[in-house]
């Protein structure tokens, strides 16, 4: 049953990002900004990173980020955005 649900979820998100190439804003999550802005950069894990807004923002501050998502389409979009932002080396997708 779990495999069916996880497969359905992965298909949902893949379809979601394929149909909406720019689904989310380019801004990081405001709660993340509030909690992290004053911290010394280190390492971060962004699970369910979607199109990479939070991961890219963290990397731009000097964080080393590991970012993961079930949607290959979202990850490809995020990697392109990271390259445009000049933070490719700071993020492992």
Each residue of 71-92: pLDDT tens digit? 999 999 999 999 999 999 999 9
Distance CA 61, CA 23 (A): 24
Residue percentage of the chain with pLDDT more than 90 = 80
How high is the pLDDT of residue 3? Answer: 58
CATH fourth-level superfamily of 2-92 = Vaccinia Virus protein VP39 (3.40.50.150)
Average the pLDDT over each of 4-8, 36-40, 49-53, 59-63 and give the range with the smallest value. 4-8
CB atoms within 10 A of CB 55: 30
How high is the pLDDT of residue 7? Answer: 81
How high is the pLDDT of residue 1? Answer: 46
CA Rg value for the chain: 14
SS3 92: strand
Spell out the domain ranges in the chain: 2-92
pTM: 0.86
Each residue of 9-39: pLDDT tens digit? 899 999 999 888 776 767 899 999 999 999 9
Q: Sign of the C-alpha dihedral, residues 4, 6, 76, 88? A: negative
């Amino acid at each position: 049953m779990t495999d069916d649900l996880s497969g359905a979820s992965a298909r949902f998100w893949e379809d979601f990002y394929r149909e909406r190439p720019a689904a989310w804003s380019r801004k990081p999550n405001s709660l993340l900004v509030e909690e992290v802005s004053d911290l010394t950069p280190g390492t971060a894990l962004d699970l369910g990173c979607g199109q990479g807004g939070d991961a890219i923002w963290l990397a731009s501050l000097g964080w080393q980020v590991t970012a993961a998502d079930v949607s290959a389409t979202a990850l490809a979009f995020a990697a392109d955005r990271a390259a445009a932002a000049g933070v490719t080396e700071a993020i492992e997708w």
